[in-house]
Amino acid sequence: MTVRTRFAPSPTGYLHIGGVRTALFNWLFARGHGGQFILRIDDTDQQRNVDEALQPILNGFRWLGIDWDEGPEVDGPHAPYYQSQRADRYQQAVEQLLACGAAYYDYATPEEIQAQREAAQAEKRSFSYNRQWLAETDADRARFEAEGRTAVVRLKMPRAGQLVLDDLVRGEVTFEWAREQDHVIQRADGSCLYHLATVVDDRAFEISHVIRAEEHLSNTPRQVFIADALGYPRPAFAHLPYVAEPGSRNKLSKRKLDKYLKHADFAKIARHGQAIADRLGLATSADTFNPVIVDFYQQVGYLPEAVLNYLVLLGWSLDDRTEDFSRDQMVELFSLERVNKAPASFDPAKLTAFQQRAMDRMESKPKVAFVLPFLQQAGRVSTPPPCEVGSQLSGILAAAGERLTVAGDILDYDDFFTSDDALVYDEKAFEKRLRKPPEAVGLLQKFRQCLADATAFDVETLDQLLHDFVETEGIKIGQIIHALRVAVTGKAVGFGVFDTLALLGRERCLSRIDQALRLAEAVDTD
């Protein structure tokens, strides 16, 4: 049997972390068995669909490297891959279900169904529709329609017995047929619902394994009933544990951002991302930019392999010690047998740790290529970049080391790419380090001359130069080094001062110190 799996997102919003995890497990299972992964768009609910939401979903998968063998923008033998374009197939299935007695026309109004539901609740019994407005004959249909009623098509579910299902994650699962409702499969306007469409399409696309989130487990009886009634072979089912909120067992939701921001690690990752977005001039909102949405991680500069590595461990593990996997290792080692049944809590701090390790492992050349677009997007480096930018960036990345967690963090060092006369000073730092200390301007003037006369301008020479200056002047190093940093970078913090001076070069350092001195002296004069 050829393994064929699918993921069927609805174009109702940006790609959710939990949805990507489900897609990843489908992709890994298919790739590991030499099969195919299908992307199908579940757009049967036209009222909730957002046309512009589809492209971010496709872009998100491509960014992560989750490719599909058939689906949107990829030709295949089972097209079309949008459920909204497959209505004729669903209509055929409805007619077949009606013909074999597995479905019926129902003319009850929503108010009448609700009245029966409330009566059952008052009598403390399970609700089961009594099929009072079931139309068994053409005469029944004509009579109901003469009353002005319109019909939906409902499944005629069994009222006794059990469905026993062997789930590849959860084991044997038993459902009582009596607890199932006569679910609507076709609305009065003729449009078909998801439960019918997904069964018809899974058969048409030859899906062998339905691997999906556990909230769909309750849908399985009606879908199995439809498949059996239509004479379809049943696919294998595997229901994955849901991704839970940070520090909770509640399901992670992209609509609860305010709640999650009360969690320290979640708030930290959100603030970090927002700071980068602000510097890039990105328009953000809770609907389009938050750490529950995959697009967030692409925009702020996470590595796709780090995100994938973290996601694969949300509900699956190889053993109790191995955490770092390459993409090829994930494909080779993944199995449904090792998927957990319990919910997996989303841990922003752990995701950041995966990202940091992935960044630390990157060689200099690919890391330069990774961070450069963020400087270009922020307008700090032209496109194409000047020839010297590559070597300068390489030096900055080496000096920054672990301070650079995501690619967007390179914007913390954009002062290297700012013209000297456009350098912006942190006002608090400038006041504290250059204006308030009475000796700051004089010391900086003297050390400026030392820099001008230095025989070399490398880290070792500059280090020795400053220490000799401190000894000669009889001062503490803090009295000059902080003022020096603010003067050449405009900021109070950063990587090593000597690395900073060497990377800027002699002429730019002198130019910036002169500018800082003019600004400080102008204030003193006032």
pLDDT, averaged in runs of 10, over the chain (526 residues): 94 88 98 98 72 84 97 94 94 98 97 95 93 94 96 97 97 96 96 95 98 95 98 98 91 91 94 96 89 95 97 94 95 97 94 97 96 96 92 96 96 94 95 95 97 97 97 96 97 95 97 96 60
Q: Name the E strands within 437-498.
A: none
Backbone angles phi, psi at 260, to 5 degrees: -70, -25
Annotated catalytic, 156? no
Distances in whole angstroms, Cα of residue 179 to Cα of each of 105, 128, 213, 233, 234: 21, 8, 21, 24, 21
Please give the Cα distance from 86 to 74 (Å, whole number).
17
Please give the Cα distance from 508 to 266 (Å, whole number).
40
Could you tell me which of 120, 144, 148 has the C-alpha nearest to residue 134? Answer: 144
Q: Which of 254, 259, 350, 446 is catalytic?
A: 254
Backbone angles phi, psi at 420, to 5 degrees: -60, -40
- Cα pseudo-dihedral 366, 371, 372, 377, rounded to 10: 150
Please give the pLDDT value at position 247.
85
pTM, two decimal places: 0.92
Q: Which is it for the CA torsion 79, 85, 86, 88, positive or negative?
A: negative
Please give the pLDDT value at position 526.
44
Contacts of 516 (CB under 8 A, 6+ apart): 425, 430, 434, 444, 486, 487, 488
Please give the pLDDT value at position 255.
87
Could you tell me which of 522, 519, 465, 468 has the C-alpha nearest to residue 490? Answer: 519
On whether the CB atoms of residues 497 and 489 are closer than 8 A, the answer is: no
Please give the pLDDT value at position 1.
79
Range list of H helices, 177-263? 194-204, 220-229, 257-260
Pairing of strands 103-106, 152-155: antiparallel
Please give the Cα distance from 235 to 208 (Å, whole number).
5
Please give the Cα distance from 139 to 9 (Å, whole number).
41
Q: Which is it for the CA torsion 77, 81, 87, 93, positive or negative?
A: positive
On whether the CB atoms of residues 304 and 60 are closer than 8 A, the answer is: no
> Which H helix or E strand runs over 164?
strand 162-167
Please give the Cα distance from 151 to 189 (Å, whole number).
9
Q: Which is it for the CA torsion 442, 445, 449, 454, positive or negative?
A: positive
| DSSP label at residue 73 | T
Please give the pLDDT value at position 418.
92
Which amino acid is located at 191 in the chain? S
Contacts of 336 (CB under 8 A, 6+ apart): 25, 29, 168, 169, 211, 238
Please give the pLDDT value at position 525.
46
Tokens for 321, please give them: 């010690």
Tokens for 414, please give them: 């954009």
Which amino acid is located at 234 in the chain? R
Please give the pLDDT value at position 44.
76
Tokens for 299, please give them: 């925009």
On whether the CB atoms of residues 66 and 120 are closer than 8 A, the answer is: no
